[in-house]
Chain A
């Protein structure tokens, strides 16, 4: 998954706070993918409002991107920035677990 990082050269950072860059791989509008979109948007709004960017990729339309990022299951959420990268598989229903995986617990609030 190291190759994927090279594509992400643009800077979204605002001075002051850490900016979070996500890439969410979904498969069309299947229910798990739809849930993941909603869950991710909610989590971001609640915890890092104004400091995040979500790049959604539909694997059914862009299989190349899925291949490059080694995305085998959908939905897959990849935290690209800040490093280190993290991948979370699934519909993100378990908010506490997602927060822990994305290092958004405690001090970020």
Chain B
């Protein structure tokens, strides 16, 4: 897995959540999570990871354990519900070789399921388990411990007072051994009776809650840090995905605006449009191209992309409307040969079906594309299609995150928005992003006499002069030509 890369990425977006002195932290191996936690889990303390079934809590714990094993922090996994063989198999499907780590004494799996046939008569304690663990800790020099499904252990006790007492004893035991501990606990969905383990939230030094919810038929996973004693942390809910490399928390842009100032002006790809924009687009700014279907939005964006590519700059084109092949073939009509640019590696077209996944997965892919391709300019075609990622809110979040990342990295961001009616002025803003857009170009079909002509107007261009006229243009086989009137 690309841990190193993700770690580097985490550092880059570090911002105000720098590691604080005093409280030692242990990296989780999940870059986005380290960022949320301001460096990692509290070393030598107990972290509670709660969530419903299938929320991914055990997986997060396992990834921390495996990362630790490779990072000089041998760990023990105590399982109260799963069989060791099943855990090994699950880990293997994520490319983690637990058996090898066990052989190297970096990880120990402890099957702590009680025989269901056991008879209970009178009081008892978990001293046996602790004695076994003590022996293992000494033998392998364990620093981490993951107690999976700690709630299952407590079900043994029929008395809430004793449950609590035993848990406090376990907590003390963990602290005494200076273990960095993660306990996963099942929670009931919100709205039902409060969890009988609510007191655990008070006991642990760090509490993380994960859940899985379905909105508009698209499932999203989210993570929230509820508390973290002695440390700052990201206080929002953060979407995360589980993919072939494990847990990926969408890198959070820092909570202050660290946008870079706009760069020099570059050509829009058409000389007359550069005149209209008093020199072209500013590098590193955001540009919205809005207009009705067929008004020439994609052509305008591709003109710019081609001009940039020919200058040797890289352009990432995120297409939610058509495949790369169909876009390349369609752009031949206005005389734009994109295939050579793709071949030379200056243009990358990535097509995604908006409804195929939730926004966090879309974001993850976009971030991966941004990191791998390192473009100077990004085109999103079209933001109107992003609504299909779930909801208008989801689309807004997606676009805002992309925009923030682009602004932080000084990447020019071109959003295309398709408006439906002819009264497009009311519609152009699209999903409420217009206030943070630097330049807005509006394309429309305008009836003149018995015909319809194409017109372009610059609605806004922050920090720059621009024409305030409607300009009539035609799409020819050489791009977009100004019609002189």
Contacts and interface: CB of A to CB of B under 8 A. Distances in A.
B129 interface: yes
Given A67-B132, A74-B127, A90 B122 contact: yes
Given A63-B134, A64-B135, A88 B119 contact: yes
B120 A89 contact: yes
Given A67-B132, A70-B111, A73-B128, 9 more contacts: A27-B127, A70-B115, A72-B112, A72-B114, A86-B119, A87-B115, A92-B121, A98-B121, A101-B119
Interface in B119-141: 119-129, 131-132, 134-135
Given A1-B115, A64-B135, A87-B115, A94 B122 contact: yes
The 6 closest A-B pairs by CB, nearest first: A27-B127, A90-B122, A91-B122, A93-B122, A63-B135, A101-B119
B372 interface: no
B125 A74 contact: yes
Interface residues of A, number: 32
B131 A59 contact: yes
A101 B122 CA distance: 13
Given A59-B132, A63-B131, A94 B125 contact: no
B156 interface: yes
Contact of A76 (B111, B117, B128, B156): B128
B118 interface: yes
Given A72-B112, A73-B126, A73-B156, A88 B131 contact: no
A66 to B, nearest CB: 5
Contacts, number: 96
Contacts of A25: 128
Contacts of A93: 121-123
Interface of A: 1, 25, 27, 30, 32, 35-36, 59-60, 63-64, 66-67, 70-76, 86-94, 97-98, 101
A97 B121 contact: yes
A32 B123 CA distance: 7
Interface in B134-189: 134-135, 156
A105 to B, nearest CB: 13
Given A67-B135, A73-B156, A59 B122 contact: no
